Amino acid sequence: MAATDRPQLTLITPPAFDLEIFPGQLSAVLDAVEIACLRLTLATKDEDSVLRAADTCRQLAHARDVAIVIDTHLRLVERLGLDGVHLPDGARNVRKARKDLGADAIVGAFCGSTRHEGLSAGEAGADYVAFGPLGNTPLGAGTRAEHDLFAWWSEMIEVPVIAEGALTRDLIEHFAPVTDFFALGEEIWHHDDPVAALKALIAPLG
């Protein structure tokens, strides 16, 4: 696969992390592997914790010319100087996000394994749609996004598509010809060496 054709990478943060430790891990990954976008996905509802984590990650990402989007928290995008928002609930809020954030912001939507939801998100103004999971996971409905969905999308639809969820090296090799991005996070952060784990996973990309 030519370098120009290889899928790009979105890096997903853990849902919770130690601000004494994680910035070093994140910096190491960003310096070792070319990342197109960092997605901040925080489980906490504590505003101060979100603000501190987002501020730290934004500084690290922007210092390396990496875009950063935040999961769900539309109202924090401009306040924190982020590049956009990732909406986990399909097309539902895409139009509002686009209106609120303007034409230049990144607005993405996770659409599960549903072609119709992806099409609706694209029509509403999403910059990308994400389908998943690709692998076996108990999270969400557990319905896997199949290869045929990505193959159809990449042939018929111009809106970029992200493949994510329980990725393995074999899945990355299998889906690489039919996706624009892979989103990886939980697959690497539980390893002692996230950089090595990520490099092993994406080895099929060349």
| First and final C-alpha spacing in the chain | 7
Q: Where is average pLDDT lowest: 78-87, 123-132, 136-145? A: 136-145
Tokens at 187, concatenated? 């697959």
Which tens digits make up the pLDDT trace of 9-48?
999 999 999 999 999 999 999 999 999 999 999 999 899 9
pTM beyond 0.85: the answer is yes
Cα–Cα dist 86/97, whole Å: 10
Q: Are 205 and 177 in contact (CB under 8 A)?
A: no
Span 122-145, average pLDDT? 89
- Give the chain's domains with CATH numbers: 8-205 (3.20.20.70)
Cα–Cα dist 20/11, whole Å: 19
B/e letters for 157-187, b = 16+ CB within 10 Å, e = fewer, are: eebbbbbbbbbeeebbeebbebbbbbbbbbb
